[in-house]
Each structure stands twice: as structure tokens, then as C-alpha cells.
Amino acid sequence: MKIIMLGAPGAGKGTQAKMIADKYGVPHISTGDIFRANIKNGTQLGIEAKKYMDQGMLVPDELTVKILLDRVSKDDCSRGYVLDGFPRTIPQAEVLENALNKIHDQIDYAIDVDVPDENIINRMSGRRACLSCGATYHVVHVPPKAEGICDRCGNELILRDDDKAETVKKRLVVYHEQTQPLIDFYTKREILRTVNGTVDMNVVFEEIVKILGEKA
């Protein structure tokens, strides 16, 4: 089962991708998490990616595509994966499609988690992230059991640098310009499915399970 999560920054892609990964036993692959791990470890890739991420811009395709193709070629991806935050541009989608075509494979579904821009700023200012295991919380909607501590791994939760209101506004502009065209791209391939992302996260997940049901 190969799934792509689409949606604006903060729509709940990561939240749903983790639930899908847990239920169906496939890895959750977030390019944002990979970049943040590289920033934390001070790698050259991290230093380069941070310049773009802090400004709310996309990391160039040349850097992003390579790390994604390396990741999906690992053994744990043999039964599929959930991609969260990739592709974010048409060229990225084309590279992925060509790579899969070469091995006579394809993406099963692109799931668009639909949340209007008005809801996004509130979501992002309340988001708290764990840089160790990638879990995300919301101070009001999805609070951790102990304030500031990750339920999953016990590490400290942070407010991401790029979740400040000004950066989120820029990320939304970038989303509409560069990422939203993917909705058309996957509609044409007849694999786009849209879910309402404004309801409780468990209700969103029920909708997704209905879509994926026959693939389980």
C-alpha cells in the first residue's frame, strides 16, 4: 500500500499518516522530519535545508528528491509506505511516478486532508512537536499527557521555528502556488480522495480507513 498525504501545512497530514502507519504496518515517511533530524545533527543537508525552511520556502527539488528516493528504496518500504509532505511540487511528483513506473509500480491513493486557510494559523501556533520521534500535539485539541513532554518517547516538545504566524502565512502562499496543483495531477490519475480535515482527528481517520479498507 503506497499512500501520499496532501494538504496545507497544518492540515493534519502527519497526524493521519502516523495513524495509517500504525494500523497498516507501513513506514511513515516525512521529508520535513528528515530535514529536521539533519538540522538537529548539524549535517550539510540540514544546514542547507534550514535556510529555506526558516523562510517558509520549499527546499529545492534537487535536494529533496534524492533523500526521498533513497528512503523509499530501503527494505522496510517493500510492503508500501505513507508519504507525508512529499511530493510538494509537480516535478517531485513526476520523479516519483517515473521511479515507480520503472519498477512497474504506482501510488494507490493521494489523500487530500482539506482544511481552510482560516483554521491553519490557529492549528500551527498550538502545534508542539517532538524532534526525537516526530510525534505532534496541539496544546488544546491534542494535548500530551504531561505538558511539554512527548507521550511516545518522553522527550521534550518544542514550538517549531517555522510555525510562527508570519512564516505560516508565507508557507500557505507557497502551498497554494506550488503544492495545490498536485490535486489536479492526482485527480487526472484517478487516485485523489478528499477528506474533511476540520473534524476530530479520529473522525478524519475513520474516513481514511473507509477509503483504504479494500487495500488493507
Q: With CB cut-offs between 5 and 8 Å by kind, which of ligand ADP, ligand AMP, none does residue 12 bind?
A: ligand ADP
Of 88, 99, 85, 90, nearest to 185 (Cα)?
Answer: 90
- Interface mask toward ligand AMP for 13-32; x: CB under 6 A: -----------------xxx
Q: Which of the ranges 36-44, 45-53, 103-111, 136-144 carries the binding residues for ligand ADP, by CB under 6 A?
A: 136-144
Task: Transcribe the chain into DSSP letters.
Answer: -EEEEE-STTSSHHHHHHHHHHHHT--EEEHHHHHHHHHHTT-HHHHHHHHHHTTTPPPPHHHHHHHHHHHHTSGGGTT-EEEES---SHHHHHHHHHHHHHTT----EEEEEE--HHHHHHHHHHEEEETTT--EEETTTB--SSTTB-TTT-PBEE--GGGSHHHHHHHHHHIIIIITHHHHHHHHTT-EEEEETTS-HHHHHHHHHHHHGGG-
> In the range 6-35, which residues lie near ligand ADP by CB under 6 A?
7, 9-15
Quick note: the x/- pattern for ligand AMP over 150-189, rule CB under 6 A, is ------------x--------x------------------
Site for ligand AMP in 111-150 (CB under 6 A): none
As annotated, the active-site residues are: 13, 88, 127, 160, 171
Q: Does 35 bind ligand AMP (CB under 6 A)?
A: yes
Whether the bond between 181 and the residue before it is cis, its omega within 30 degrees of 0, is: no
Interface of this chain with ligand ADP, residues 145 to 204, rule: CB under 6 A: 197, 200-201, 204
Closest by Cα among 195, 210, 216, 32 to 115: 195
Q: Which stretch binds ligand ADP (CB under 6 A): 93-101, 137-145, 168-176, 182-190?
A: 137-145
From CA 111, how far away is CA 4, in angstroms rounded?
A: 6
For ligand ADP, which stretch binds (CB under 6 A), given 4-12, 33-41, 67-75, 100-108? 4-12
Query: Could you say which residues in the range 51-90 bind ligand AMP, by CB under 6 A?
Result: 52-53, 57-59, 64, 85-88
User: Which positions lie near ligand AMP, rule CB under 6 A?
Assistant: 9, 30-32, 35, 52-53, 57-59, 64, 85-88, 92, 162, 171
User: Which positions lie near ligand ADP, rule CB under 6 A?
Assistant: 7, 9-15, 123, 126-127, 136-138, 141-142, 197, 200-201, 204
